[in-house]
Amino acid sequence: MRGEYCQLWLTCTDQKEADKIAKALLEKRLIACAKQVAITSDFIWEGKIERNNEILLIMESREDLFDEIEAEVAKLHSYDSFVLTATPITKVSKKAQKWLDKELN
């Protein structure tokens, strides 16, 4: 059974890493689309407040593919503790649904 659609969120250290991860996930048809946005992240790391410029990947996929996506990201990501999250999509336009169904594994 296919899972529900979701948006995945992943911060990457730079454009090169974001490109590499997006390409790998697209080639394996684990995601149908990856959008890249330059962001500034503030976070606590090892007890200190840090600030980094990063690239945020926003990707369209299905929840049942999450574990495969996480495993692929783990092979490619430079962070020991990357944060990959999934947000359920509750509605999607009919044509986008057909496209997602066609392009995803």
pLDDT at 1 (0 to 100): 44
pLDDT tens track for 47-96: 999 999 999 999 999 999 999 999 999 999 999 899 999 999 999 999 99
Domains held by the chain: number: 1
pTM equals 0.92
For residue 38, the cross-strand partners are 55
Segments forming the whole domain that contains residue 19? 5-103
What's the CATH code of the domain at 73?
3.30.70.120
Distance CA 18, CA 10 (A): 9
Other C-beta atoms closer than 10 Å to the C-beta of 56 total 15
